[in-house]
C-alpha cells in the first residue's frame, strides 16, 4: 500500500471494511442472530458466504478488477436486504445493517477500482474508439 495515494488507501480500507464486514455479518446473522427454524444454520451460512469468499482473495490482494467484479455479487445482498427490510418487521434492523455494509462495500469498491486502476495505468478504451479501430481494420 506504500505506492498508493492517500485517497486510494482510504478507499481500500473502506472496501475491506465493507466486504469483510458483510461476510462477518452474514455469518453472524445466519448462525447466531436469527437462525432459520427449519434449515440448518451452517448450510445457510455457507450458502450466503460462498459468493463473498470467491472474491475475498483478490480483494485482500487489492486487485482493482476483483473489486469491480465483486460488485455484481454484492447486488444479491443489496436485493436481499431490501426485500427483508420491506417484508419482515422483526428482521428490519438486520437488513438495515446488511444494506449499510453492502452499500459501503459497493461504493468503496467502485472508488478503489477506479483510482487504483488509474494509478496502475489500467484503462478501458472508450467504446467509440474501439469501434473506430475495428471499422478501420475491416475496411
Model confidence over 2-11: pLDDT tens digits?
577 888 999 9
In the chain, the number of structural domains is 1
Domain assignment present for 40 = yes
Domain assignment present for 1 = no
Identify whether the C-beta of residue 107 lies closer than 8 Å to the C-beta of residue 16.
Answer: no
Domain assignment present for 107 = yes
Which tops the pLDDT comparison, 132 or 127?
132
Domain assignment present for 119 = yes
Q: Among positive and negative, which fits the CA dihedral 55, 57, 60, 64?
A: negative
pTM exceeds 0.75 = yes
Q: Which three cell numbers stand for residue 73?
A: 455479487
Nearest to 59 by CA among 129, 106, 101, 103: 106
- Give every CB contact of residue 84 below 8 A, 6+ residues apart in sequence: 91, 92, 94, 95, 98
Cα–Cα distances (Å) from 121 to 9, 15, 114, 117, in that order, read 17, 20, 10, 6
Instruction: Report percent pLDDT > 90 for the chain.
Output: 59
Look up the domain containing 47 and give its range.
6-138
Per the prediction, the chain carries an average pLDDT of 87
Domain assignment present for 45 = yes
Which tops the pLDDT comparison, 49 or 139?
49
Integer Cα distance of 39 and 9 in angstroms? 41
- Give every CB contact of residue 68 below 8 A, 6+ residues apart in sequence: 109, 110, 113
Place of cell 438495515: 96
Q: How confident is the model at residue 11, as a pLDDT?
A: 95
Q: Which three cell numbers stand for residue 125?
A: 478504451
Integer Cα distance of 97 and 103 in angstroms? 10
78-122 per-position pLDDT tens digit: 999 999 999 988 889 999 999 999 999 999 999 999 999 888 887
Amino acid at each position: 500500500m506504500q505506492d498508493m495515494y492517500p485517497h486510494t488507501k482510504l478507499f481500500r480500507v473502506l472496501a475491506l471494511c465493507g466486504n469483510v464486514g458483510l461476510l462477518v455479518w452474514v455469518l453472524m446473522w445466519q448462525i447466531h442472530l436469527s437462525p432459520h427454524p427449519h434449515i440448518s444454520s451452517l448450510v445457510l451460512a455457507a450458502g450466503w458466504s460462498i459468493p463473498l469468499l470467491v472474491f475475498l482473495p483478490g480483494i485482500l490482494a487489492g486487485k482493482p478488477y476483483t473489486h469491480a467484479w465483486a460488485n455484481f455479487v454484492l447486488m444479491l445482498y443489496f436485493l436481499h436486504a431490501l426485500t427483508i427490510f420491506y417484508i419482515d418487521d422483526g428482521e428490519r434492523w438486520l437488513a438495515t445493517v446488511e444494506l449499510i455494509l453492502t452499500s459501503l462495500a459497493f461504493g468503496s469498491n467502485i472508488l478503489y477500482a477506479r483510482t487504483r486502476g488509474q494509478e496502475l495505468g489500467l484503462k478501458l478504451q472508450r467504446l467509440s474508439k474501439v469501434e473506430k479501430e475495428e471499422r478501420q481494420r475491416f475496411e
